[in-house]
Amino acid sequence: MAFFLQILGILFLIILFVVGIYVFIFVRATRRVKKLSQLDSFYGGLHGFKAPARIKLIRLSEPEWTNPEQIEPIINEMMAQGFKSVGTYMVPNTHSSVQYQFLLHPIHGGTQASFVSQEDGLTVILHEHPKFGIWSEAFWKYTSGKTLTVSNAQYGECFNVHPNHPKYFLKDTSIFELIDEIRKKRSVEPYEPVTPENFPILIESLYAEEMDWRNLQGYLTEEELQRFVTSADIELDQSDLDIARSLVIDSASEGLSEACQDSFIKTTSMPVAEWEAIRDHLVVIHDRMSGEDAASFLDSTPGLGEHLEDDIEALEELDSATTSIRQAFAEINQKLPKNLQFKPLGQVEKPISADIYLTPEEIL
């Protein structure tokens, strides 16, 4: 994948490091509390963190670099080597609990300068974040849909690679060494030209593809987590890793819901005005969702819990690996009084099969 995978990797390096420290201290202080709900209670909402499944690049007319003395000489040399600017961008912060805002994806709030070679179409990204430093990536996207990427992102080699997007990591190298290396590795096939007009769309689509692939596998596997912990020299035992893995799986499920909603938005024939009025009241039930998460929509909607308390509790215990959560939710929904039922709006199949509902308060 292009540069966002490496940036995304850095995000979870930071997340897992901080979560690891928090978990380590918390577990020792509370005799190895293992349940995610207890961790949430203690830290006031860590469970609510998630990596966004979709992003939107915003072009900056006058970027303000945190370290201009480091950035500007690199940009000047890039231009001298025949690279042309395709703009400077940022991704605005997403919503999160205040105490965990600093854990968000490093690109959120950061600045990135983007360049394309006039010689061979190589795209290069120079990224700076005020807290997470400077790193860079270079890539081509071929017309076949595949990409080739090299990056100097730290710990990037710990994470699995999308099968259509090979990448190489050269830590502690300069952006110009990355450029030399990728030109040696490039296969001779046509690539997609990058312009200021299509660059944001290209990056947003690459990011979406990467996130869907990762979220479908639970975002990070146990092996990836273990490789990172070992590489970063973080001392966590299996109990700590299990909690971190639970957080990652929860984030992946929320990411799939976000992606399914995005898919529904793009395919619905609903008028824009009508859609804008209800978009914040959609409920997505997908095939990887836990029974507990599906039950939360029923339990948190005023007036529903008292009708089907036993059914809701049974739904919470269901395992999506062996039971269709979508079917179970639909059956419970049918048992509700008509005016309290979730209204089915449609289905999507990508990135995963899901049912889209409107919450009852919108159809009363």
Q: Among 40-44, 161-165, 261-265, 346-350, whose mean pLDDT is lowest?
A: 40-44
pLDDT over 80 at 20, yes or no: no
The whole-number average pLDDT for the span 7-30 is 43
Give the model's pLDDT for residue 189.
87
Q: Which of 263, 227, 221, 232 is nearest to 354 (CA)?
A: 263
* Per-residue pLDDT, 65: 86
In degrees and rounded to multiples of 5, residue 278 shows phi and psi of -115, -10
Question: Which segment of 202-206, 239-243, 316-320 scores lowest on mean pLDDT?
Answer: 239-243
State the pLDDT at residue 62: 83
Query: Percent of the chain, pLDDT > 70?
Result: 78
Q: Is the pLDDT reported for residue 51 higher than 90?
A: no
**What sign for the dihedral angle of Cα 85, 88, 89, 90?**
positive
Instruction: Report the pLDDT averaged over residues 219-241.
Output: 81
- Residue 346 token pair: 């449609």
pLDDT at 186 over 50: yes
Pick the residue with more confidence: 142 or 21? 142
The pLDDT score that the predictor gives to residue 259 is 95
pLDDT of residue 228: 79
Q: How confident is the model at residue 305 (pLDDT cuts 50, 70, 90)?
A: low
SS3 95: coil
26 or 213, which is more confident?
Answer: 213
Nearest in space to 283 (alpha carbons), one of 297, 295, 269, 273: 297
With bands split at pLDDT 50, 70 and 90, how would you rate the model's confidence at 363?
low
Instruction: Please report the pLDDT score of residue 131 as a whole number.
Output: 66
Contacts of 192 (CB under 8 A, 6+ apart): 141, 142, 143, 198, 202
The pTM assigned to this predicted structure is 0.80
pLDDT above 60: residue 132: yes
Give CA torsion, residues 98, 100, 292, 23, to 10 deg: -140
Look at residue 140 and tell me whether its pLDDT is greater than 90. Answer: yes
Tokens 């830590």 locate to 171
Q: What pLDDT score does 110 carry?
A: 67
* Residue 240 pLDDT > 50: yes
Q: What is the pLDDT of residues 243-278, one digit of tens each?
A: 878 888 888 999 999 999 999 988 888 787 787 788
Average pLDDT on 72-83 reads 93
Residue 318 has pLDDT above 90, yes or no: no
